[in-house]
Structure formats: C-alpha cells, structure tokens
Structure 1
Amino acid sequence: MTQTALAAITSSILAVWLLHGAPQRRSLRALEALGAAPLCLLALHQQGSGPAGLLAALIATSLPPVFAHDLTEQRIPNKLTATIATLGAGATFALALTVGTWAHFGVTIACAIAAAGFYLLCAIIGGLGLGDVKLAGALAIPLAWIQPGAVITAVIIAAALGCLHALVTVVRHHDVRRRFAFGPSLALGFFAAALLA
C-alpha cells in the first residue's frame, strides 16, 4: 500500500468524524480532525505505510473526539463508538479478503469481544460506564489485527493512566468518590499499544 493511498484512507477517516456531527458542532469536528492529523502521522511513522499503519491511524483518530466528549460531558456517544467499530470491522474484513487470513480475522474479533467482556465485568462491579465498554471493544478490533497480544498491553496502559488520572482528581478535588472520565485513558492506552506493537 503506497503512502499516497494510506494518506487518502486516513483523510477519509478524518472526514467521517468531521461530518458525523450536527451542523452547529462542525467547528468542533474540524478541531477534532486537526488534532487527529498529527496523531495519524505519528501512527504512520511508527507502523509504516501498510495495514498496521492504517489501523493505528484509525485508533489515532478516536483520541480527539473521545477526549472532547468524555472530559466535557462525562459520556462517550454510541454514534462515536459505532463509527470506530464499523470502520475497524470493515477495514479488518477487507484486509482478511486481501492480505490476511480468515483465522486472523477471527482472532481479531475474539480479542475485541474479550476486551469488551472484561470492561463489562468492570462496569458490573462498578466504576465504569457502558460507553467505556463499547469503546474498548471498538478500539480492540484494529489493535488486535495489528497484534492480538497488544490488547493486553492496552488494558495495562489504560489501567495505569486511569489510576494516575483518578489520583490527580482526588488530590485536586479532595473527594475520593468523585467521578472522572476513563475514556481518555482508554483511548491513550490503545493508541500507545498500537505504537508499541
């Protein structure tokens, strides 16, 4: 896959986020796209101009909207997680048809289900919202294609970042029961794992 083709695909991914919001939110979508651009370039630089670079760039595009929604609204919209999951599943399905195998695709989907199941268990125990569960499952699709074991790395990094964020929140607000957004830690964890894979 050439660098030009990969850039075109990445631009298309950015366009999805730019256009999926209501007209009054288009300026915010533009900022999200601008924020995603350097992250996509970092992903392409780290993973190269092949399928892994494309999928890492997809994970990169999730960071700005997750940060924007979860830090300001304490929620991750279903439309956002559905977009990530659809693009991830579509890309990995296409890769299975062309350069991969159906076994690889099966492992990818199994890893995504396992990640979502783990975070669902955490949500049942308490502390996580269902938006986090859906986001983990969606982000696990492209990451598991890059490297299935990287999903475990992502969970560990996300947990470490989440603990750090919780500590800062408690110290800042002097309230051990104060809620905080876990989505940004989750997105960063999966992106970091994609860069390290």
Structure 2
Amino acid sequence: MIESSTLTWEVTGSRGYETAWVDLDPGRSLLRARGRAVGTDPEPYWISYALETGEAYVTRELRVRAESAAGARELVLRRDGDGRWSADGAPLPELTGALDCDLGLCPLTNTMPVLRHGLHRRAGEHRFLMAWVRVAELTVHASPQTYTGRGPDGDGGAVIRYASGDFRSDVRFDADGFVVDYPELARRVAAVRGLPDGQDRPDR
C-alpha cells in the first residue's frame, strides 16, 4: 500500500522553506517525491525537483530546476541499473559505488539511506558515497558521508548523527524516517499524512 505524505520544513540553512509531496511503497522499498523550495541566502532562488528511486530506495533519477537572478538552470541526474551515474547525459565515474543523491539544503534526501538501513529503528554506523548537488548552481560532487543511528527513542523517532568532512549534526527523524529537526539546516513545521479514506489530517 502506497503511503502519501506532505512535508514542510523551514530551511534555516537558506532562510527559506521547502514542501515535499512524497509517496512511499514500503512493500517494494520505493520512494517518489516532488518538491518546491525557496531560499534567500546567499541570494534569492527557487528550486523545483522530482525524485524517483528503484528498489531499496536507491536513486534512479533526480530532476531539478533552479532559478535565480543569474537565470534558470536544469539538471537531470541519473543512476542506471549497472550503477553508472550521469548528469545531463555526461558520465560521472567519480560516483561509482554511490546509491543516493543528496540535494543540497533538502532534508527529504536524507531519508533514503535511513530507510534502507533502518537507522531510525536500530543502532548502527554506515558510510556512504553520495551524489551531492550544490544549490543553486546544480553542480554534482562526490560526497563521503557517515550516518550513525543510536536506535529509537521513547517518542517514536530517533536521533542519527550525520557527518561529512568537518561537519557534524545530530538529526532527529520521525518513526517513518523523515527529518523532523536538522540543526543548522532545517526544522519541520508541518506534516500531513494520507488516510485510507482519502482524507488528510495534520499530525503536527
């Protein structure tokens, strides 16, 4: 059964906001999402994106459009069935071994590795190579990252330590694997879950 959510964050890292409309298929470990974001730091910009994963929440395609005073930019980032990455059709061999995209200043793209390894439900440390997309330039970079789960807390969520280079942050996730509070980056201000009868209700 597909689970739908609408999630909104105040993105403190860009002095803006983001809303993502997410469909999860837990039975097949698939995720699809589309999102819109507006930021004002270091300059005003807006972003729209569409994300699709294959099984085990492995990125299949990320499409991004950014607009700022410099004009509009677009990116199509893909990972094929053999694990080869490309950006607008150009190969990215430096991403060999990466499973996930990481759209800069986008808390949604922290969800896939958490769901794949169940880090919101059990303790463990995992090291990743991510296809990190810089916003709003939409350039793609190989980014080594570490996620360290401490197991669930008494509130139904979990805190996971995120590390990349010299940066560290203890990120709170909810029981579904979505970011609630990411210090120095984003704080969730609303979440609406789809109900079986087609009605929606806010849970925060």
TM-score scaled to structure 2, two decimals?
0.28
* More relative contact order, 1 or 2 (CA 8 Å, 6+ apart): 1
TM-score (norm 1): 0.29
* Structure (1/2) with the larger helix percentage: 1
